[in-house]
Structure 1
Amino acid sequence: MHAPKLRIKSPDVLIAESGADRAGHGLRRTMGLFQLVCFGVGAIVGTGIFVGLSDTVAEAGPATVLTFVLAAVTCVLTAFSFAELGGAIPVSGSSYSYAYATLGEGAAFITGWCLLLEYGVSVSAVAVGWGQYLNELLHSVFGWQLPAALSNPPGEGGVVNVPAVVVIALAASLLVRGVRESARATAAMAVLKIGVLALFCAIAFAAFEGGNLTPFAAHGLAGVTSGASVAFFSYIGFDAITTAGEEVKNPRRTVPLAIMVCIGVVTLLYCLVALAAIGALSADEVAGKPAALSLIVNHVTGSTVGGGVIAFGAIVAIASVVLTVTYGQTRILMSMSRDGLIPGVFQRISPKTATPVAGTWIVAAVFAVPAAVVPLKVVLDLTTIGTLSAMVIVNVSVIVLRRSRPGLARPFRAPLFPLPPLLGIACCGYLIYGTGTATWLQFGVFLLVGAVLYVAYGRRHSRLRSAHTGAAGTEAEGGAKAVKAAEAAGADGTTGPAGERAPVATHGG
Structure 2
Amino acid sequence: MGRISNQLCRRKPLTTMIAESNDPPPHSDPGSSADAGGGTLQRTMGLGQLTLLGISSVVGTGIFFVLGTTVPDAGPSVILSFVVAAAVAGLAALCYVELAGTVPVAGSTYSYTYASLGEGAAYLVAWCLILEYGVAVSTVAVSWGQYLNELSSSLFGFALPDAISQAPGAGGYVNIPALVVVLLCSLLLARGTRESATVNAVMVCVKIGVLLLFVAVALTAFRTENFSDFAPHGIGGIGIAASGVFFSYVGFDTVATASEEVRNPRRTIPLALLLTLATVTALYILVAVAAVGAQPTEKFGQQADAGEAVLAQILRDVTGAGWPAMLLAAGAVVSIFSVVLVTLFGQTRILFSMARDGLVPQVFRRVDRERHTPVHNTWIVGACVGGLAALVPLQYLADLTSMGTLVAFVAVAAAVVVLRRIAPDAPRPFKVPLYPVVPILSAVSCLYLAYLLPGITWTLFGCWLLLAAALYLAFGRRNSALQHAEQPAEQGKSEQKEPARHA
TM superposition score category, shorter chain reference: 0.7 to 0.9
* C-alpha distance in structure 2 between counterparts of 1:371 and 1:293, whole Å: 26
Q: Count residues in correspondence.
A: 475
Structure 1 pair 106/160, CA: closer, same or farther in 2 (3 Å)? Answer: same
Report what 2:496 is aligned to.
none
Measure how far apart 1:54 and its partner are: 4.1
Please show how residues 88-99 of structure 1 align to structure 2 within 5 Å: 88-99=102-113
How do residues 266-285 of structure 1 correspond to structure 2 at under 5 angstroms?
Answer: 266-281=280-295, 282-285=299-302
Q: 1:179 aligns with which of 188, 193, 208?
A: 193
Displacement after TM superposition at 1:170 (Å) = 1.1
Contact 2:300–2:310 (Cα < 8 Å) also in 1: no
CA shift in 2, pair 1:406/1:295, >3 Å: same
Q: Is the 8 A contact 1:137 1:311 kept in 2?
A: yes
Higher mean alpha-carbon deviation, 357-366 vs 119-128, is at: 119-128
Which among 18, 23, 32 is matched to residue 20 of structure 1? 23
1:76 aligns with 2:90: yes
Q: Per the alignment, in what secondary structure is the counterpart of residue 8 of structure 1?
A: coil
Partner of 1:277, secondary structure, is helix
- 1:136 and 2:169 equivalent? no
For 2:388 and 2:229, how far apart are their aligned partners in 1?
38
Deviations 1:320-354 (A, max 9, x none): 11111101100000000111111111111111211
**Identity, % of aligned positions:** 51
In the alignment, structure 1 residue 153 sits paired with structure 2 residue 167 = yes
Return the index of the structure with the highest Cα Rg: 2
SS in 2 for 1:155: coil
Which residue does 1:335 correspond to in 2? 353
TM-score in terms of structure 1 length? 0.86
How far apart in 1 are the matches of 2:6 and 2:388?
40
Distance verdict in 2 for CA 1:131–1:226, change over 3 Å: farther
Q: After TM superposition, give the deviation of residue 318 of structure 1 in Å.
A: 1.4
Does the 8 Å CA contact 1:193/1:317 hold for their aligned counterparts? yes
**What does residue range 235-314 of structure 1 map to in structure 2 within 5 Å?**
235-281=249-295, 282-287=299-304, 289-314=307-332
Q: Could you tell me which of 218, 228, 239 is aligned with 1:204?
A: 218
Alpha-carbon offset, residue 145 of structure 1: 2.7
Residues 141-190 of structure 1: per-residue CA shift (max 9 Å, x gap): 22343333332213333333222211111111110000110111111111
Distance 1:348 1:369, change over 3 A: same
Question: Which one is further off, 58-67 or 171-180?
Answer: 58-67
Aligned counterpart in structure 1 of residue 413 of structure 2, from 371, 379, 395: 395
Distance 1:112 1:152, change over 3 A: same
Q: Which residue of 2 aligns with 1:421?
A: 439
Following superposition, the deviation at residue 450 of structure 1 comes to 1.3
One-letter identity of the residue aligned with 1:414: V
Deviation at 1:459, TM superposition (A): 1.2
2:35 aligned residue: none
Distance 1:247 1:410, change over 3 A: same
Report if aligned partners of 2:144, 2:177 keep a CA contact under 8 Å in 1: yes
| Corresponding residue SS for 1:399 | helix
Distance of aligned partners of 1:376 and 1:74 in 2 relative to their CA distance in 1, 3 Å threshold: farther
Q: TM-score, normalised by structure 2?
A: 0.87
Which region of structure 1 is more displaced relative to structure 2, 214-223 or 462-471? Answer: 214-223
Which residue is 1:195 aligned to?
209
Contact 1:125 1:380 in 2 (8 A): yes
Q: Which residue of 2 aligns with 1:67?
A: 81
The residue aligned with 2:56 is 42
Alignment partner of 1:359 is 2:377: yes
Structure 1 counterpart of 2:121: 107
1-structure distance, mates of 2:414, 2:491: 29
CA contact 1:61–1:283 (8 Å) conserved in 2:
no
Separation in structure 2 between the aligned mates of residue 291 and residue 160 of structure 1, nearest angstrom: 24
The equivalent residue for 1:350 is 368
Instruction: Measure, in 1, the Cα distance between the counterparts of 2:242 and 2:161.
Output: 33
CA distance in 1, matches of 2:162, 2:75: 28
Q: Give 1:209 deviation, angstroms.
A: 4.5
Indicate the residue corresponding to 1:499 in structure 2: none
Aligned equivalents of 2:237, 2:203: Cα separation in 1:
33
Contact 1:133 1:291 in 2 (8 A): no
User: How far does the alpha carbon of each residue in 1:352-394 deviate from its partner, in whole angstroms, 9 at most, with x for none?
Assistant: 2111111111111111233224456434311111101101000
Distance 1:285 1:204, change over 3 A: farther
Deviation at 1:242, TM superposition (A): 0.7
Q: Deviations over 1:416-437 (max 9, x none)?
A: 1111111111111122123222
2:23 aligned counterpart, secondary structure: helix
CA shift in 2, pair 1:366/1:202, >3 Å: same
Task: Give 3-state SS (helix, strand or coil) of 2:415's partner.
Answer: helix
List runs of 5+ in structure 2 lacking aligned partners: 28-38, 493-503
Match of 1:8 in 2: 11
Q: Would the alpha carbon gap of residues 240 and 21 (structure 1) be closer, same or farther in structure 2, given more than 3 Å must change? A: farther
Change (3 A) 1:368 1:244: same
The worse-fitting range, judged by mean Cα deviation, of 369-378 and 9-18 is: 369-378
**CA deviation digits over 1:208-238, x for unaligned, max 9?**
4456568666777776555444423221211
Alpha-carbon distance, 1:396 to partner: 0.4
